[in-house]
Amino acid sequence: LPYVPRVSPMALLGKVTATTFALERPRGVFEGHADASDAVWLAVAFANASAAFRNPLSRADVPPYKQLPTARSYMTLETAAAAYSCSAPSPPVLRVGSDTACREQGRQDPCNGPLPFPGPYRVKFLLMGCRGPKAETRWSEPILLRRAVSPSSIDPAPAGRGSALVVIASILASLGAVLATTVLGALGAKVWGSLCHRDLGTDAFIRRSYRTHHIPPALPQPLRPPGQCCSAPLPPAPC
């Protein structure tokens, strides 16, 4: 069949991880080739081993998941052909490598276990009936899984951006210092002006003199003539 499997083009979280990838679910690809009793399988192989893959003649010959390291390929996701029809209410993607219980149970039947190597891998869909293969798709393009990075290999300060970050940090620090100095200067000038104004008002109040206009000032006393008794009364002061 001309259909080529591919990783789902939808925006998905974890579309490709270190052990899994989300494959687009084919719809209507096997119309006219499948019967109600047929099943669709997914063949998974290392990219450099896909050309040597041989379709099994029966279900008993299906290569299991546990033989991937030695056989370089396996088959999984056995599904009734009707689930791939155009009108079938099924999820739009197939998650390859999602069954984490495969290694623990050690089952002999085909399993959809986590992919133990980054690959790259190629996949294809195979339609099988009770008498063997009936139709198949083309192999996909190589699919490379994500690789975990060792913490010791991460450079905390990349050489290409280290100097630029230092310059930016210096500029920001300088701008912050200038802004702080300007704000403090403005506040200091305002406070100093307020204190000066308060002192001037107090001095003006202290130095202010009061002159009484309703009481005439006292006139100087006339000198007593010689020989006059000190007890003689003085003439009254003129008004």
pLDDT in tens, 11-55: 888 899 999 999 999 999 998 898 889 999 999 999 999 999 999
CA distance 238 to 193: 54
- 135 located within any domain: yes
* pLDDT digit string, tens, across residues 59-75: 889 999 988 999 999 99
What is the number of structural domains in the chain? 1
Beta bridge partners of 91: none
- 201 located within any domain: no
Question: Poorest-confidence range of 116-125, 177-186, 192-201?
Answer: 192-201
* pLDDT digit string, tens, across residues 83-98: 998 888 888 899 999 9
- 188 located within any domain: no
- 75 located within any domain: yes
Q: Examine the pLDDT at 111 and tell me if it is beyond 70.
A: yes
In this prediction, residue 230 has a pLDDT band, given cuts at 50, 70 and 90, of very low
Burial of 85 (0-12, 13-18, 19+ CB in 10 A): middle
- 108 located within any domain: yes
- 33 located within any domain: yes
- 130 located within any domain: yes
- Its pTM stands at 0.62
Host domain of residue 106:
21-148
pLDDT at 48: 94
Query: How does DSSP assign 62-123, residue by residue?
Result: PPPGGGHHHHSEEEEEEEEGGGGSTT----SEEEET--THHHHHT-SS---PPPSS---EEE
- 106 located within any domain: yes
Say which residue, 97 or 154, is predicted with more confidence. Answer: 97
